[in-house]
Structure 1
């Protein structure tokens, strides 16, 4: 790792996750544990401005998800390799290795999907769940209709059977990943040039695993969500959602969708682009602080 791919003041360890997969993990501070999970097409570095603020009074654990950044990128042996259930097991294992049997879990984008699955599968481990700018897997697919669904074109591309999506993306990988950093950053000022390059380079090196992550969301993850919905599974821990108003374009109410999973969930809008933790770190930090102060049942 070079100096621009680490969070200043944090220690780094390689920690075993699930099934012999090792994650790159940044660790700082002490106190009530908080785990921060990144989104696409990023790495744990997206939390570089939030994590040090939280480390003033929390143990802050910031991993690269399996398949991303400097974490292991196992070959997609079957659908479970990059299922959110498997990725959630990674995170619970890492937290326990660091002595955190229970922790608050904050996820952005892909990381929020992992966080939601972790909260469903390991409710005794996840004390609080924070969601940044994403919907649950099942509800994401349900709200994508007609021409407005073109905003999520990459979901459909990476949902295709193994082989063709990987080859298509690898042919123009740098342009592919950079296009999301640019399209979802309206100001064009959120990323320092070297950070932006780190995200592009890290993603280019991880095409097969990133595609496998997305493919799982259109298959095995969706099946798990459907099974949980049919069984009436719900999240009892405090759940907070911080999001742009995607619903205005696609015709849904984000809070209503999250309340199907977490009846007591709260929702806060934010005047920021998708990469809100980097665009407005103070607001995101305060959101997290407010969430983890909420009493658990």
Structure 2
């Protein structure tokens, strides 16, 4: 184990779970909370949140999803099964159990929120509370796609193109793509330092990471939709808190709270003054919301 450079007080380690090496940072004692990042970030997205959750009395685990950061890049091609959210959720449940946490709260941003949604459906015995950040349910977003969404979330339709078109195009200049992607979503100047951008870019320059990310999105548009349609009438048992950025696309195009009330028995919703990257743009407001929800 080594000390984290970005999450003060956290130690970095790996565990082989569900047949995959998952990289994670952990610290603290108390009720367990799992933090799941989105695209194109890594667990480092929680650097402004995780240490304060530890101070608030929680045992915190922030992992890299399979294919992202320093977690294993699992080989995958059509039909994209290795990057189904069902498999990605299994990784994280197995990780938490390996760390001694059989039941825990999960906070998922972006792609991590989609993994957390599937986790809450497939592993209700494990998920105590669910927080989803700046997403509406995947099936809802695809079924309600219109020109406004397709234009502003173009990567949902670019990254799912057949291998290896997006891989080659991004791989020709990954730094340009990463900076343009993050720059288009972040509405708070200075929220991401050059040091942090460099860390994200370290991962994004790896062709295996780029392929894994494309497979994640391809799975979302194929096998994940099959799973979501099969579970259309099922609802999440755990209490849900849905948070979105009021300067972002999701809050503008969807009634976020209503979309989650279609998927869960108990839902609270609120907007924060920021864009898409809530943990980086509005960490203090997010922390207040999380501590209140987790302690309720």
TM-score (norm 2): 0.93
- For residue 158 of structure 1, report the CA deviation from its aligned partner: 1.0
Equivalent-residue separation in structure 2 for 1:155 and 1:73 (angstroms) = 20
1:71 corresponds to which residue?
71
- For residue 187 of structure 1, report the CA deviation from its aligned partner: 3.1
1:33 corresponds to which residue?
32
Contact 2:65/2:71 (8 A) holds in 1 = yes
1:262 corresponds to which residue?
264
Contact 2:244/2:251 (8 A) holds in 1 = no
2:21 corresponds to which residue?
22
- For residue 180 of structure 1, report the CA deviation from its aligned partner: 1.4
Match of 1:217 among 217, 220, 226: 220
Q: Would the alpha carbon gap of residues 147 and 85 (structure 1) be closer, same or farther in structure 2, given more than 3 Å must change?
A: same
Contact 2:245/2:251 (8 A) holds in 1 = no
- For residue 201 of structure 1, report the CA deviation from its aligned partner: 2.4
How many residues end up aligned between the 2 structures? 290
Equivalent-residue separation in structure 2 for 1:104 and 1:98 (angstroms) = 14
- For residue 214 of structure 1, report the CA deviation from its aligned partner: 0.8
Matches within 5 A, 1:228-239: 228-229=231-232, 232-239=233-240
Matches within 5 A, 1:273-284: 273-284=275-286
1:188 corresponds to which residue?
189
Equivalent-residue separation in structure 2 for 1:3 and 1:194 (angstroms) = 17
Contact 1:108/1:133 (8 A) holds in 2 = yes
For structure 1, the 5+ residue unaligned runs are none
1:227 corresponds to which residue?
230
Equivalent-residue separation in structure 1 for 2:6 and 2:197 (angstroms) = 13
Aligned Cα root-mean-square deviation (Å): 1.7
2:152 corresponds to which residue?
151
Matches within 5 A, 1:1-297: 6-18=6-18, 20-56=19-55, 57-77=57-77, 78-205=79-206, 206-229=209-232, 232-245=233-246, 246=249, 249-250=252-253, 252-294=254-296
- For residue 31 of structure 1, report the CA deviation from its aligned partner: 0.5
| Counterpart secondary structure, 1:35 | strand
- For residue 236 of structure 1, report the CA deviation from its aligned partner: 1.4
Equivalent-residue separation in structure 2 for 1:115 and 1:198 (angstroms) = 24
- Per-residue CA shift, 1:129-181, capped at 9, x if unaligned? 00000111101112320244201100001111222121122112211111111
TM-score (norm 1): 0.93
Equivalent-residue separation in structure 2 for 1:185 and 1:95 (angstroms) = 30
Q: Would the alpha carbon gap of residues 216 and 201 (structure 1) be closer, same or farther in structure 2, given more than 3 Å must change?
A: same
Contact 2:88/2:115 (8 A) holds in 1 = yes
Instruction: Decide which moves more: 105-114 or 159-168.
Output: 159-168
- For residue 247 of structure 1, report the CA deviation from its aligned partner: 5.4
Equivalent-residue separation in structure 2 for 1:227 and 1:127 (angstroms) = 23
- Per-residue CA shift, 1:204-228, capped at 9, x if unaligned? 2110011111111101111111110
